[in-house]
Structure 1
C-alpha cells in the first residue's frame, strides 16, 4: 500500500511538472552538439528548422530564462502609453513630439513613421524594413534589413530631426540582416544577425563575435544580457544560443530531458 501511494505521488509530481511547462532557468538547460562536418551540419540544421519549438529569452531575478512562444517572429519592442493603432508595429519609441514607429513586412518591405502623441497625424520617414529602435545618449538609432532566400542585408540607421521633421540616414552597413539587438551600458550594442553576432561600439566600430552562426534558418527572435555582462542569450527556433562574450564561445542549449 505504501509503495502504491508513493507511485501515485511520483506520478502527481511528474504531471504537475509537465503542466508547468519546460524548465525556464537556462542554467539548468543542457548543451546540444552542433555537427562540425558540413553534410551532417546541413542535415541537423534542416531538422532544427522544422522544429515546433520557438524560444523567447528574458531575465528574471537576475537569471537568464526562456519560455515557449508560438509566434516564431521577432519580439516587438513597444513603448508604454503608445496609441493602440501602433500595436502592429515592430518597434515603437517615444520622442518629445510623439512617437517613432517602425514596421517590418519581410520581403515586402516596411517603413519608419512619425506619429503625433494621440496617433491622429503621421508621416513616412523612410521605407526601411525596421527591426528595432534603440535610444542612446547621442540620439536614436534603428536596425533595419531583410533576409530572404539567399540574400541577407541590413544597416544601422541614425534617426534625427532636421527642420522640424524626422529623417533617417545610414550610419553603418551591416554584413547581414539584423534579428535582435541588446543595448550595453557604455552605449554600444550587440546585434544578432541572420548569419553572425556582432558588437557595435559607441563610435560605430563593428566587431564580429560569432561568425558563420549556426542559426541561419532558426530565426532569432530575442536576446538578453546576463547580469555580469559576460553572456548573451539568444532565443530562436529549436534551441537557445548562449554566447560567452569575452571568448566568443557559443553553446546551443535545449531543455533538460529533450
Structure 2
C-alpha cells in the first residue's frame, strides 16, 4: 500500500498577497509550518490577516478539519526579511507579482539563507523558469509551481521544469502537490506554459468579441459555461485573475509568441481606468 503523501515540514512563502496567502494557508492546513515573508512589518501583518481570514472562511465552508483556532494559525508566522527564513526550510515558493528581475533577486537572496537541500520554486504564471533558474548557484533545485486562484479550493498545480531541474526536485514537488490534495500537471518550460497560454488565448479572444460588439460579457461567458461546460466564463475569470495581471501576461507572450497575443485595446483602456476586476470592484462585471 502506497503511503499517503506528506507536506514539507517547513515552507517559506515570499509574498503575502492573494496568491501567497492562499499558498501559505494551504500548506498550513496540510500540516506544514509556514513563514510568510513580506517587504515590511505592515505588509507582513496584512498577509497574516489574509491567511487568518482564509482559514476562517475555509472552516465556515466545512473544508477545514476543525475550527481555524485549533493549531493551524499557530503554524503560520510572518517575517519582513528573507534573512528570517529558517535554515531548515524544505520548500520556498516565491509568489510576488510578475517582475522577472524582482523574482530573480529574491530567489538568489533565498539561496543564501536556506540549506542546500531546500527546493526553490516560483509561482510565476508565464515568465521563463529557465531564466530564473540561471541566477541560482544550484539551478537543479528550482522549478515553477504555478498555483491557481483561489489557491485553497483550486484543484491544480502546474509544475514547470527548467532543463536543469533534477528528478529529485520534480518528485518532491509532485509529492507535496498531492499532500495538498491537488493534482499536478508537469510541463516543460515554454512561454505561458500550458495553462496560461491556452487560458489567455481564450480570454483575449473573448475581450476582442466584446470590443467588436459581437456580444456582451454575460452572453460570451454563458456560451462558454453552458455550451462548453466551463465552470466560469473567460471574462468573469479575467475579472477574478485581474485585468492588470492578464495584460502583463499578454504583453509578455506578445513579445515571445507574436501578434496572436497582442493585448486588445479594450483591455488596455480598462486597466488604464483602474478597472482591474474583482479587486477594484469593476472589470467586465461590477463586484460587491
TM range (shorter): under 0.3
Say which structure, 1 or 2, has more relative contact order (CA 8 Å, 6+ apart): 1
The TM-score normalised by the length of structure 2 is 0.24
The TM-score normalised by the length of structure 1 is 0.26
